[in-house]
Amino acid sequence: MSKLKGKKIAFLATDGFEQVELTKPWEAIKNAGAQVELVSLKAGEIQGVHHDEKGDKFKVDKTLDSVSASEYDGLVLPGGVFNPDALRMDEDAVSFVRDFFEQHKPVAAICHGPWLLVEADVVQGRRVTSWPSVSTDLKNAGAKWVDEECVCDQGLVTSRNPDDIPAFVKKAIEEFAEGKHRLQTA
């Protein structure tokens, strides 16, 4: 399958990401023909988790200080509680996410990943979903939160949890294939 041939997709994560929310989309997007890169706050490796248990370590391809959104065709934000919470406290990470919206590029965020969208101030008026505990933050940021498997609004793909990964990946690939488009800041 070469639906994403010639596309370059960033996965933004740090220690404490929900492993399956990175590995399953990574595999599917790579198999669809995209070049995928793991971007993080620091060089070396980052630690995945399986809910509250430590998972595997993953090699970071690039650090935030060495990349820009203009190098990529799309962005994936895995969840896990610690990962997005740490990333939303880092101004470079928040700016990186915001830049995808300013450049009208598709973004896919799952579970707790949408916390970064709140911090980047890009959910105003958008229909989104997430892990239930993130819903209040999204609503307070002006989003229209719904409890659905997968939601797409102007190139922003969101899902609730690992059970939603098949629908999340399918829609993310579709949006990445479509490319630069409707995604706009509020």
What is the set of active-site residues? 111-112
Contacts of 6 (CB under 8 A, 6+ apart): 33
Contacts of 27 (CB under 8 A, 6+ apart): none
Residue with tokens 């023909």: 33
Q: Is 53 exposed, middle or buried (0-12, 13-18, 19+ CB in 10 A)?
A: exposed
Read off the tokens for 164. 């939603």
Query: What is the spatial distance between Cα 83 and Cα 63, in angstroms, rounded to a whole number?
Result: 15
Is residue 117 helix, strand or coil?
helix
Provide the pairing of β-strand 35-40 with 8-12: parallel
